[in-house]
Amino acid sequence: MRPREFDHDDVLRIAFEQFWRKGVRGTSLSDIARDAGVQRGSLYNAFGSKEALFLTAYERYAGEYLVTLRKALGTGSLRKRLTAFFDLTITNFRAGSPPRGCPTTRGLMELGAAEGEGLDEEVREAFAGLVSCITALIQETLSAGAERGEFSGNPAAAALHIVTVTRGLAVLERAFDDEPQLRKIAAHTIDLVLGKKGG
């Protein structure tokens, strides 16, 4: 068996950076191969297609993001945990120069955008899977907060509301490039869920 021609993790990281910055349709395997210092054919042999490479790179990103999110939601009062969640979310959107936005929202906007050019169902399921995992983690955090007397609402409904707000923040970040506005909306959302400066 032939040895691998490249570092798999390195290629996935480089590929995801490009997909995140330029979108799937705006990224070519040739660009990824050039930046990774590998042959384009090697990428085809390893992944099969640009979409398959994107899916592998996205799933790696999603796994790392969920580990970071669990840490952010892991300590402090419920208000501190939700603040840490929004901080992580906004920091993620604003990363890069220029800011790269949200890879999930960006990818969802590319789904089926033009016949034959959209991403496939497997990719849509990966996006939906990450959003579902984030929603479940927020719901668990709210349920634990309710047990501690920090929250009296419906954890499932509030978690869905919070995650829906993050999708809106992703779009507003692209439209206005205004981080203070995003942070203000996040703080208002926490106040709506928990009540002003209580909890």
pLDDT bucket at 187, cuts 50 / 70 / 90 = very high
**CA-closest candidate to residue 110, choices 196, 1, 16, 26:** 26
pLDDT at 181: 96
C-alpha Rg value of the chain to the nearest Å: 19
Task: Tell which wins on pLDDT, 33 or 100.
Answer: 33
The angle subtended at Cα 78 by Cα 77 and Cα 82, nearest 5°, is 120
Is the pLDDT assigned to residue 110 strictly greater than 90? Answer: no
Cα 98 from chain centroid? 17
φ, ψ of residue 149 in degrees (nearest 5): 80, 20
In the Cβ-directed half-sphere of 175, how many Cα atoms lie within 13 Å?
Answer: 8
Predicted pLDDT of residue 1:
42
Type of residue numbered 130: L
Domains of the chain (ranges, CATH numbers): 54-194 (1.10.357.10)
Phi and psi at 148, nearest 5°, equal -90, 0
Nearest one of 128, 85, 78 to 107, comparing CA atoms = 128
The answer to whether the pTM exceeds 0.85 is: yes
* 177 vs 66, residue with greater confidence: 66
What does the pLDDT look like over 25-53, one tens digit per residue? 889 999 999 999 999 999 989 998 888 99
SS3 annotation, 146-199 = HHCCCCCCCHHHHHHHHHHHHHHHHHHHHHHCCHHHHHHHHHHHHHHHHCCCCC
| pLDDT band at 165; cut points 50, 70, 90 | very high
